[in-house]
């Protein structure tokens, strides 16, 4: 890929990425707060708490992304199941990265959760932008 092609691609998806970054950031905060509350007050172990917090944030992300991205040409149920699939993979990435940072790198639990979310964010965005919503690939105006 030539430099100019790369710049064209960046410009094409810049607006979607910035908007998704804020939607994803909002959902990440929900993820982190729910996680913190579960491990601190409900005394749930970090892996189940991570899964439950991720599910909550993914549901909210799904609702918001339906507003941010133009709906795909697929049926709503097909789109929903694709979101579930992508989100399940992202949850696995989030939990695996978090566990790695806790168990191997020995970072604090919340910092590990934040880093895990960051790794999953990259996968989640690219999957939605270039696979689920690829037919339209644009932001609602």
Nearest to 27 by CA among 120, 109, 95, 96: 120
Q: Cβ distance 140 to 77 under 8 Å?
A: no
Rg (CA), the chain: 16
Task: Identify the pLDDT of residue 101.
Answer: 97
Among 1-5, 59-63, 65-69, 106-110, the range with the most confident prediction by mean pLDDT is 106-110
Q: Cβ of 29: how many Cβ atoms within 10 Å?
A: 12
Spatial distance between the Cα atoms of 28 and 5, rounded to a whole number of angstroms: 32
Is pLDDT of 130 > 90?
no
Per residue in 18-46, pLDDT (tens digit) is 887 888 889 999 999 999 999 999 999 99
Angle between helices 109-127 and 3-40 in degrees, nearest 10: 140
Nearest to 141 by CA among 73, 69, 62, 74: 69
Q: Give the phi and the psi of residue 69 in degrees, each rounded to 5.
A: -95, 145
Domain positions in the chain: 3-132
- Point out which residues pair with 139 in neighbouring strands: 69
Spatial distance between the Cα atoms of 114 and 94, rounded to a whole number of angstroms: 9
Say if pTM beats, i.e. exceeds, 0.85. no
């Amino acid at each position: 890929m030539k430099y100019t092609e790369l710049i064209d691609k960046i410009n094409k998806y810049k607006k979607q990425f910035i908007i998704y970054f804020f939607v994803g950031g909002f959902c990440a905060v929900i993820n982190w707060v729910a996680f913190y509350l579960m491990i601190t007050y409900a005394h749930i172990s970090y892996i189940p708490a991570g899964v439950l917090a991720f599910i909550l944030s993914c549901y909210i992300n799904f609702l918001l992304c339906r507003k941010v991205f133009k709906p795909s040409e697929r049926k709503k149920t097909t789109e929903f199941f694709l979101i579930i699939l992508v989100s399940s993979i992202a949850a696995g990435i989030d939990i695996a990265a978090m566990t790695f940072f806790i168990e191997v790198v020995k970072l604090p639990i919340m910092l590990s959760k934040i880093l895990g979310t960051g790794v999953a964010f990259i996968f989640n965005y690219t999957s939605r932008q270039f696979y689920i919503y690829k037919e339209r690939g644009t932001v609602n105006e």
